[in-house]
Structure 1
Amino acid sequence: MRALHDLVVAGQVDPTELVKTPLPGVIADSWRRSLGRGVDPDRQGPRSATDDVLEILRRDNPLTAAMPMIRRLLVDDATDSGFMVAVTDARGTLLWVEGHRRAIRKAEDMNFLPGADWSERSAGTNAPGTALVLGREVQIRRWEHFSRVAQPWSCTAAPVLDPTTGVVLGAIDLTGHSSAATPQTLALVRATADAVGKYIALQRLTEAPTDPVIDDVGARLTVLGAERATWTARDAAGVMRTRTLAPRHADILVLLTRHPEGLSADHLAVLLDSEDLDVVTVRAEVTRLRRAIGARYVGSKPYRLLEPVTSDLDVVLRFLEKGDVGTALDHYAGPLLPHSTAPGIVRLRVESRSTVHGAAVAAADPELLARLARVSAF
């Protein structure tokens, strides 16, 4: 594995050929993303937030309230086993690193410290960063890491999802020697992340009043800030399920939420691609989208939403319309579909970002401006 990594980062193996190697598919895909984003495999550690920014990140993240639970379920045993437990926000910034003291001191050499950006876009393939990209648990063993400085370690991580909204709240990671990436640790970390998500949702229900702006909805679409968009809706049994959307499907759903009157195949093609996108391709993508989320949600002639779908962008804009800039910023996790190049999405991204920034500036509140700066920086 180490020899293959050396060849890949040296440019002697075409990234598209990794599928022909023994490299696991999840790792091969992540290495390709790391190469495409220009991650330096020899950098001594990712960038870090200042202490002031870290304090804001911790204060504003719902995982803060769950830290006693995380310590009880995971950190105490990890400390005895020589492991570290890291908790990140939704963008991959480490909020806490706790556990075995010697392991923590050793990890300082790769800047695995609170405030450091361990998103995949910053540090390459790593368990918490890659779990946030995939929206599911992942294990990374030693030389599967893209960054050489991380290759002495093995790790297991799982994202924490709000089971009510499907929003990614952050990730929980277990890092240490080779036994940190076993089926047993995978089950433990996954169960902890699931328990934490449910705890936060229950806490919100018992402590916060219901707001019809965000609660009186059907399916939910999360498209702000995260690496991948998610779709949350009830299945046939009435259980809320969350799934990660293909990038093109996320583009289509956002465009349909902003065009309740519907879009023709030709109009949708123009909004999805600046080149002449074949309408046959558009129809095929919509067919695949229906298969992914359920045919009942998307109608045709014109393409339109048949049931209520609320995105986190909708929530932000509605609170801004009410003049509640603070609550809007609570839900503003970053720019709309940051990796999308679809012309219609790019225009909406610029417009929505300008609207949020303008509202925060007009409020002339230093606290709101600081929160906006934090979202923009990460």
Structure 2
Amino acid sequence: MSQRSDLRQRRAALEGEWSRTVSLVKSTGSAPSGHEGLRHEVADSWVRSLGSVDPARDSAPAADDGTVRNRWTDSLLRRPVDALSDELRSVADDAGFVAAVTDESGTIMWTCAGQDMLRRAERVNFAPGGRWNEQAMGTNALSLALRTGRPSTVFSAEHLVAALHGWVCYGAPIHGPDGRILGVLDLSTTWDRSHPLAMSTVRGLASAIEAGLRAGLPAGPRDDVPQVRLTCMGEEKATRGGALLALRPRQLEILTLLALEPDGFSSERLRDALYGDRPVTASTFKAEISHLRRALGGGIAARRYALTAPVSCDAVDVLRALERGDTDTALRLYRGPLLPRSEAPGIEEWRTRLEVAVREAVLASASAEHALRYGERAPYDAEVHEHALRLIGPGDARRAIAVGRLTTALR
């Protein structure tokens, strides 16, 4: 309730600012200074826009539908957007957004939304063919992102056109591999659903589209695209092409679970695996997914969370080695417990499964070396040390190591 009240107060303040400033700009041709509630980039955009845009207009001007369809068919953006369409639709449906992609001129090429938001969007021609650049529709997140080359947010009466004062919009430019702006990805919804995490979501999705452009999606990752390597046995890190990925512990947990379970997770099951009974908002959960997706350049399906790009993982390699009876390789890769600092229920379950599997393979092995190597990481496991002693001959100097470990374990 507090957040909604804050948003309402902000909207009311902006409405007052809009009424005063737009009238003044029309009469003087410049924006007044010293108005704390109005951002400079918004005021400057109003000044530029008022020469061509009537703030009382009710919808965006339209381009020719046939031309738009043909241009989208040939657009460089179409294939990476199609590859992410399930994810974009999931964001739109779950959070009540309209997702839109424009070309470099600010003309909308593609949209998706639930029925209610789709109807709202169509009333202002926030639909394929609608022209949303500054010259056509004034100040909005799409036009600011195109002009500045940076992600932009426009809330309520920051829009120049009064018909958009019930909206909040988040736009991020989409850059081609050569650095050119090819268009904008926008997420828009009603003003009362404004949330700071929406900007990180739209930036992550735009980055995923850019990664798709670089990788030539949707044919799948190319051989020259560096693969992600996840190290989670005794360590906690992920790298791409040798460079460390900036992932928080929660995102490493998500990546580990997705790597270990390639069939993926429903949203509810993944939340349970991460948080258990702890109360966590849907927006917090989705923000972690979005950050990980952005770091991977996409690579995570939406409706059922699963990896769609290759990720190599030492824990998976341990399991595969055990499946083919290669205990030596499994022990070489088993450098410690799975994500040792994690308390996520799903990680704790997999940690136990891996530990039990490796231990049982050691106890079933006739190699004293296996028991000794595992014993280094299990100093209090008397059964493993006893197994080592049974396999080591009486004249073998390694017996002293096993005896010392067993003595410690039995104290």
Query: TM-score, length-normalised on structure 1?
Result: 0.51
Q: Does 1:168 align with 2:193?
A: no
Aligned to 2:17: 4
Q: Paired residue for 1:58, among 72, 80, 97?
A: 72
Q: Paired residue for 2:42, among 2, 16, 27?
A: 27
CA distance in 2, matches of 1:25, 1:181: 21
Cα offsets for 1:149-181 (capped at 9, x unmatched): 11111110101001x311111110001023654
- Is residue 43–residue 147 contact of structure 1 (8 Å, CA) maintained in 2? yes
Aligned to 1:191: 204
Aligned to 1:118: 132
Q: Return the offset for 1:101.
A: 1.1
Aligned to 2:94: 80
Q: Return the offset for 1:6.
A: 1.7
Paired AA for residue 9 in structure 1: V
Cα offsets for 1:290-346 (capped at 9, x unmatched): xxxxxxxxxxxxxxxxxxxxxxxxxxxxxxxxxxxxxxxxxxxxxxxxxxxxxxxxx
Q: Return the offset for 1:19.
A: 3.5
Paired AA for residue 49 in structure 1: A
CA distance in 2, matches of 1:86, 1:46: 14
- Is residue 137–residue 161 contact of structure 2 (8 Å, CA) maintained in 1? yes
Aligned to 2:369: none
CA distance in 2, matches of 1:90, 1:126: 15
CA distance in 1, matches of 2:179, 2:194: 26
Paired AA for residue 94 in structure 1: I
**For 1:134-283, what aligned pairs fall within 5 Å after superposition?**
134-162=148-176, 164-178=177-191, 181-203=194-216
Q: Return the offset for 1:15.
A: 5.6
- SS of aligned partner of 1:28: helix
- SS of aligned partner of 2:130: coil
Paired AA for residue 110 in structure 1: V
- Is residue 27–residue 125 contact of structure 1 (8 Å, CA) maintained in 2? yes
* Structure 2 CA distance for partners of 1:51 and 1:17, relative to 1, 3 Å: closer
Q: Return the offset for 1:17.
A: 4.1
Q: Return the offset for 1:112.
A: 1.3
Paired AA for residue 165 in structure 2: Q
CA distance in 2, matches of 1:178, 1:75: 20
CA distance in 1, matches of 2:74, 2:21: 39
Give the count of matched residue pairs: 205
* Structure 2 CA distance for partners of 1:25 and 1:69, relative to 1, 3 Å: farther
CA distance in 2, matches of 1:190, 1:18: 32
Query: TM-score, length-normalised on structure 2?
Result: 0.47
Q: Return the offset for 1:14.
A: 4.8
CA distance in 1, matches of 2:206, 2:32: 31
Q: Return the offset for 1:88.
A: 0.5
- Is residue 31–residue 47 contact of structure 2 (8 Å, CA) maintained in 1? no
- Is residue 31–residue 124 contact of structure 1 (8 Å, CA) maintained in 2? yes
Q: Return the offset for 1:196.
A: 0.7
Q: Return the offset for 1:93.
A: 0.4
Q: Paired residue for 2:54, among 17, 21, 40?
A: 40
- Is residue 142–residue 186 contact of structure 2 (8 Å, CA) maintained in 1? yes
- Is residue 107–residue 128 contact of structure 2 (8 Å, CA) maintained in 1? yes
- SS of aligned partner of 1:62: coil
Paired AA for residue 152 in structure 1: G
CA distance in 2, matches of 1:65, 1:129: 23
Q: Return the offset for 1:75.
A: 2.4
Q: Return the offset for 1:191.
A: 1.2
* Structure 2 CA distance for partners of 1:185 and 1:15, relative to 1, 3 Å: farther
CA distance in 2, matches of 1:101, 1:18: 41
Cα RMSD after superposing both structures: 2.2
CA distance in 2, matches of 1:46, 1:143: 17
Q: Return the offset for 1:20.
A: 1.4
- SS of aligned partner of 2:77: helix
- Is residue 61–residue 169 contact of structure 1 (8 Å, CA) maintained in 2? no
Paired AA for residue 74 in structure 1: L
Q: Return the offset for 1:189.
A: 0.5
Structure 2 unaligned residues grouped into runs of 5+: 1-13, 221-411
Q: Return the offset for 1:125.
A: 0.5
**For 1:290-309, what aligned pairs fall within 5 Å after superposition?**
none
CA distance in 2, matches of 1:117, 1:134: 18
* Structure 2 CA distance for partners of 1:19 and 1:161, relative to 1, 3 Å: farther
CA distance in 2, matches of 1:70, 1:147: 31
Deviates more, 1:22-31 or 1:188-197: 22-31
- Is residue 8–residue 14 contact of structure 1 (8 Å, CA) maintained in 2? no
Paired AA for residue 45 in structure 2: S
Q: Quote the sequence identity (%).
A: 30
- SS of aligned partner of 1:20: coil
